Amino acid sequence: MKICLAQLNYHIGDFEGNRNKILNAIQEAKAASAQLVVFSELAVCGYPPEDLLDYPWFVEACMNSVLEIAAACQGISCVVGSVSLNEGKGRSLFNSAYLLEGGKIAAVQHKSLLPTYDVFHEARYFEPAPSVQPIQIAGLNAGVLICEDLWDHYNDFSYARVPMADLHARGAKLLINPSASPFQNGKEQKRKEVLQDNARRFQMPIVYVNQVGAHAELIFDGNSMVVDADGKVVLELPRFRETLAYFRLDEQGANITQEAPLEHEDELQILEEALVFGIREYCEKNGFSNIVLGSSGGIDSAVVQALACKALGPQKVQALLMPSAFSSEGSVHDAVSLAENLGNPYIVMPITGVYESFLTALKPSFGNLPFDLTEENLQARIRGQLLMSWSNKFGHLLLNTSNKSEMAVGYSTLYGDLCGGLSPLGDVFKTRVYALAHFLNRERVQIPEAILTKEPSAELRPGQKDSDSLPPYEVLDAILEQYIESRLGSVAIINSGFDAAIVNKVLRLVNRNEYKRFQAPPILRVSGKAFGGGRKMPLVARYV
């Protein structure tokens, strides 16, 4: 049997666009003499549809699309993900995979294990499958399990059910796994291990088809693959790119025509690809053709600017340089050099006059009170207003330039440098930003050396340095990674070798700045625990 893996990029709620992609892939697979084409989880509506599933018209549109796709399945079978109605007790919907052939729905298999952790909320909408059964595809006894159904004991917990064991006991010879598995650092290797282990455990080849595309914070990398019964990866599709690929399987589901898997790439290369892809997807799917950002001459804005230029092209990235009386001449020069290296337009827009006018307006109220954080934040908010005005006037997407370290400890200003429609680096620690900057310079100098070597500073008061308020970033990031991503408490972090006073200070900063992150822009998720939808913390709480 010749099988086609259809790794496609869907747009949530765009039923016509998604349906046309699926129908075109079916015709192409049919022309290539494939007998089966496999699509990803909830391909018909896009994943994750979230509360759109609460609208009856949305569910009806899903059902109608499935019927239209089924009508095109003449002389070829297809497995495609969509929702289906639950006529019994429990949630009103199932997350389902449909087998379509002969112009109609031949079989439906529902998802058994519903992820409800981090960014996943499937138990909010779906009822788990009561059972799993093999289905006949081109004379082969095959099983269909959806995404999480293969992860029965590979998370921080184990599920009570093992759906693949049930299929194996019922004689399945091939496993098809339509998925919507988002990207994160290291996830590619983890997925591969899960697929290989399942294949070996149950001596069954696995066809894994993941979607590609980004939906705000979630980036889907594709990287679909086929694993034989011995756990060998025999076909691997590229990351971040729509692709149709084919392989052959014998009638017993035992032998697979060999293909070469992808070569391993550097982790920073994959991170760069993910961030560039996430920026491009967010712009395209939300109708933005241009980007604006504040360029300070610092490392974070420089990396965002370089990524944006790669995503949309330099001529579509507008940089605003907004020096104040506290900005060093070197920072302005570095920001200009960066724009010239990248080839994107820039404008120097000094804020000293605006800042002085604000101080004059506030003088009657402030009197002789000393300069403090208020005046520092005022500069950041003026810059935010100018950037938002440019965004409004010209329709550019404003990119936020904060990194994960700053967001964690609140080293940012609400309605100032936290402004933006998307945060590309909000899930990248400061030390990682530096590593990414050096990687971006691997072939030619994009980011000037001065930006890479200068001591970090917000330049909001004379002589200010980040180190005045924060521990060295190597120490800070290591503590933050243990607290946020590994979810260790203060005692465990201190016992791992960090100074108790520093740990307690950092954790207090993280906890008391939750309100800022609550109002931050969407963050491209590239780690196992990003700020945003995957980390829900109370705004009113007292904890250490």
Task: List active site positions.
Answer: 41, 111, 147
Structure tokens given for 455? 């001591």
Contact 243, 235 (CB under 8 A): no
Distance CA 48, CA 389 (A): 32
Which token pair is 283?
A: 């712009």
Q: Which residues pair with 346 in a beta bridge?
A: 319
CB 48 within 8 A of CB 218: yes
Amino acid at 375: E
> For residue 485, what is the DSSP state?
I
Distance CA 38, CA 419 (A): 41
CB contact at 8 A, 179 and 147? yes
The whole-angstrom separation of Cα 281 and Cα 287 is: 10
- With b for 16 or more beta-carbon neighbours within 10 A and e for fewer, the 83-117 pattern comes to bbebeeeebbbbbbbbbbbeeebbbbbbbbbbbee
- Identify the CA nearest to 99 among candidates 54, 154, 140: 140
DSSP characters over 383-429? HHHHHHHHHHHH-PEEBP---HHHHHHT-S-TTTTT--SBBTTTTS-
Q: Is 529 exposed, middle or buried (CB count within 10 Å of its CB: 0-12, 13-18, 19+)?
A: middle
The residue to which tokens 């308020």 are assigned: 469
Q: At 542, list the tokens.
A: 């007292």
Q: Counting beta carbons within 10 angstroms of the beta carbon of residue 494, is it exposed (0 to 12), middle (13 to 18) or buried (19 or more)?
A: middle
Contact 492, 503 (CB under 8 A): no
Interatomic CA distance for residues 352 and 135, integer angstroms: 71
Q: How far apart are CA 157 and CA 174, in angstroms?
A: 26
CA 371 to CA 479: how far, in whole Å? 32
- SS3 of residue 358 by DSSP: helix
What secondary structure does DSSP assign to 138-196, as a single string?
TTEEEEE--GGGG-TTSSSS--S--HHHHHHHTT--EEEEEE--B--TTHHHHHHHHHH
Residue count of the chain: 544
